[in-house]
Amino acid sequence: MQQSAPSNTLATTRRRIVTVAIAFTVFLCYLFVNLFRLQYIQHEYYKNKVYDQITTTASLKAQRGTIYDRQMNVLATTETTWRVFLSTRDIKKKMKEDGEPYDTRIAEGLSSLLSVDEATLLDKIQNTNVLDVTVKKSIDAETYETLLAFIRQEGLEELVFTEAQSHRYYPMGTMFAHVLGFTGSDNQGLYGLEYSYDSTLSGTDGYYLYAKDANGNALPTEYATYIPAEDGYSIVTTLDSYIQEVLECQLETIRVNHQVQNRVTGIVMDTETGAILAMATSSPFDPNDPYTLDEQSAQKLAACGYEEGSDEYKAKKKELLEIMWSNKAVSETYEPGSTFKIVTVAAALDLGVADMDDTFSCTGSYAVGGWNIRCHKAGGHGQNFSLAYGLQMSCNPTMMRLSERIGAENFYRYVQAFGYLSKTGIDLPSEAGSIFHQLENIGPTELATSSFGQRFKVSVIRQLTSIAAVANGGVLVTPHVMERVVDANGQTITSYGSPTGERVISEAVATEISAVLEAGVSGDGGAKNAYVDGYKIAAKTGTSQKFDVLDENGNSYLRIGSTVAYAPSDENGIAVIIVVDEPTCAVKYGSVVAAPYVSELYANILPYLSYASHAEKKELTLDDYVGMNVRTAEKKLSELGVSYRVIGDGDVVLSQVPSGNVTVTAALSNILLYTVDRTDTDVIVPTLVSMTLSEANHLAADAGLTIHIVGPTSSVGGSDLFVTAQSLPPGSRAKRGDVIVLTVISYEHED
């Protein structure tokens, strides 16, 4: 028994050694496996973890691209501004070291330079202890230079600091606001073109990666990496600053003159390419300061009755801001009214179920589907008139009878062909779609009301684009604002290729409709207020009811007046639409609240776009009639075809206005022959606004003024024409023979 002890001890020792060896081997294997995993399998993961701890990244912002109009005028650009900040901790430390009152010196100096409150700034310096206190978020280059001089002069380089930053700037202020949109705090596009082309304009940010010590200081190391920023591309648009200015001026004039409650909008477009030359909505905001309400919106907010700062007040302001920012021409819908009658007639002619010589009758209403639907003209348009006349006079029963010939299925097919069941595809955000009847829901009443543009809704850009298909000979185009994308050197990266649209009606039908519409403008049609002397304007006016808001009796009382037009009407040219939402003046018809302003718009932009005027401007050189017998002078002037007046009862001309040997335009002439001494050549300009043209002509002639008429006709006379504006202010003094320009419109036609 005693001899077996050493053997057991040895065995036990050996087992322990083996166990330890196995355990050590397992541990070594585990260690080597983990080392292999860390060194090879998860090497990149832990390497990046280390980099994250010892490195930091500095962002390098890309420069946002510029937006130009078609003449390369800058509409939106990026400027460098500077943030001003200071270190209150360092200011206090420096004050202890030097015993100088840096706090008061800094507060006093910066308040003067940066227009900040001195007491507030001093309180921040004295009662905070941080490294970064913003004094002003943004200053311009001139202020920046002045500030640097102050910092150097006062020795504040280690206490007051500046930081360069990008700032989006719109040099034309409110112009183009609804088309351009604006950017957010991170320089990202939020509305308009800024949003649509954000990825093109914004570019790609770069960065600088470098190692840092425990205090955050940069260390020279192999880990430093520089990735440069890629600046955004710039955009050249189809927009034209001059045309935009003219359009915006007209829209604001409409808003004021006709007391418009729900804004006015308008578009100018090339009929062949779909290029948008101008697009605007009244009461534009300033994209440089987009969160400040325009004057009209601010008045609505003030009148809401909510306490400033309350939740209701904030919600109302947010609502008004969103309305103010919205592009009414693209994002809102309306009932197009009689401007849609162009489409109804086009469908009938293209199908061959009618021609312009077909006769119709109108007694003032037409019974359809159990409803007696009225024409805008209470007494009707009479008997046996042509379809051409019915279109020019905007007769509702004519359109309803025409739609019966077309039929619901064909009518729906042409509505679809003209694009009304889809969006235009314009390169602007938030385009509204149309609201139209389903085919199976189009009964006799729906067909009748649709024929004259009621009880369905479209966007303004949709209506203009569809009518432009008639203007260009029958082809639907895609409206667009972007013309091309360019790099920093002006090299074109990509261009907008105008796609060939589908033909919706024959060229012959389009030409025939254009001729009828133009004859209505130059003649006695409902759109004659859109007349421009020397140009062929095709136009259609419209006045639609708003059924969204009713009075206490359930009747619609709000109106939308509009006019759509294109010129020249016999070749590809320029289409225009103006929509006036809720005019509150006495006369709300599109022929009054929109058509005259379309005329004024065309009168300005067609010569600018080099469209030749066909107006006959007969010039003549007046003889010197002084000393001539009055009867002889009258005979000579009658032969020239100019108007004249004899003042006095004498037999001999003693003086004349204009004087002899002067070249004048015959249409403007009103020659005054004096047979008495002319002692006072000054006259007092009479008030001619609101008079009929014939009344105004007589009164102006009595005052010795020469009149020039702008409006539906160049003739003097006509009880249906009224003066709406005069170029010389009433009560002012003028010379006898001076020209006074009278703007006239007709109130005769409703639509």
Listed range (347-361, 400-414, 494-508) with the worst mean pLDDT: 494-508
Q: Is the pLDDT of residue 514 over 50?
A: yes
* Structure confidence at residue 719 (pLDDT): 60
For residues 671 and 554, state if they share a domain: no
Query: Does residue 751 form part of some domain?
Result: no
In a domain, 725, yes or no: yes
Residue 550 burial (CB count, 10 A): 13
- Residues 582 and 634 occupy one common structural domain: no
Q: For 171-184, what is the mean pLDDT?
A: 96
Of 187, 206, 235, the domain-final residue:
235
List of long-range contacts for 609-616, beta carbons under 8 Å, 24+ apart: 609/574, 611/535, 611/567, 611/568, 611/573, 611/574, 613/533, 613/534, 613/535, 614/534, 614/535, 614/536, 615/533, 615/534
Range of the domain at 699: 619-746
* Rounded average pLDDT over 184-211: 86
Q: Examine residue 357 and state whether it is found in any structural domain, yes or no.
A: yes
66 and 46 fall within a common domain: no
Asked if residue 444 has a cis previous peptide bond (ω within 30° of 0), the answer is: no
pLDDT tens-digit series, residues 435-466: 999 999 999 999 999 999 999 999 999 999 99
135 near 86, Cβ under 8 Å?
A: yes
Question: What pLDDT shows up at residue 648?
Answer: 81
135 and 34 housed in the same domain: no
Domain shared by 576 and 696, yes or no: no
pLDDT in the model for residue 716 = 38
Are 81 and 124 found together in one domain?
yes
Helix, coil or strand: residue 88: helix
Judge whether 252 lies within some domain. Answer: no
Kindly state whether residue 259 falls inside one of the protein's structural domains: no
Please state the three-class secondary structure of 716-746 as a single string: CCCCCEEEEEECCCCCCEEECCCEEEEEEEE
| Position 388 in a domain | yes
**CATH number of domain containing 711:** 3.30.10.20
Sign of CA dihedral 574, 579, 584, 588: positive
pLDDT average, residue stretch 364-374: 94
Q: What is the pLDDT of residue 68?
A: 97
Question: In this structure, what CATH number is given to the domain that contains residue 454?
Answer: 3.40.710.10
392 in a domain, yes or no? Answer: yes
Q: Is the distance from CB of 683 to CB of 736 less than 8 angstroms?
A: yes
- Confidence (pTM): 0.81
Lowest mean pLDDT among 508-522, 576-590, 723-737: 723-737
Q: Is residue 283 part of a domain?
A: no
C-alpha–C-alpha distance, residues 588 and 689, integer Å: 19
Question: Tokens 């008139």 — which residue?
Answer: 385
**pLDDT band with cut points at 50, 70 and 90 for residue 701:** confident
Same domain for 631 and 563, yes or no, is no
How far is Cα 517 from Cα 538, in angstroms, rounded to an integer?
5
- In this predicted structure, the answer to whether residue 29 has a pLDDT above a threshold of 60 is yes
What's 142's domain CATH number?
A: 3.90.1310.10
Check whether 27 has a pLDDT greater than 90: no
**Distance of alpha carbon 435 from alpha carbon 454, whole angstroms:** 11
Which helix (H) or strand (E) segment is 81 a member of?
strand 74-86
Reported as a single tens digit per residue, the pLDDT across 422-436 is 999 999 999 999 999
Whether pLDDT at 715 is above 60? no
Residues 415 and 445 in one domain: yes
Same domain for 367 and 483: yes
Same domain, 92 and 185: yes
Coil/strand/helix, residue 661: coil
Which band of pLDDT confidence, cut at 50, 70 and 90, is reported for residue 217? low
User: How many structural domains are present in the chain?
Assistant: 4
Output the average pLDDT for the chain.
88
Last residue of a domain, one of 31, 55, 79: 55
358 and 373 housed in the same domain: yes
Domain boundary (235, 255, 281) is at: 235
Per-residue pLDDT reduced to its tens digit, 122-144: 988 888 888 788 999 888 889 99
Based on the fold, state whether residues 436 and 451 are members of the same structural domain: yes
Q: pLDDT-based confidence at 81, cuts 50/70/90?
A: confident
Report the pLDDT averaged over residues 566-585. Answer: 90
pLDDT at 7: 65
- pLDDT at residue 265 in the model: 98
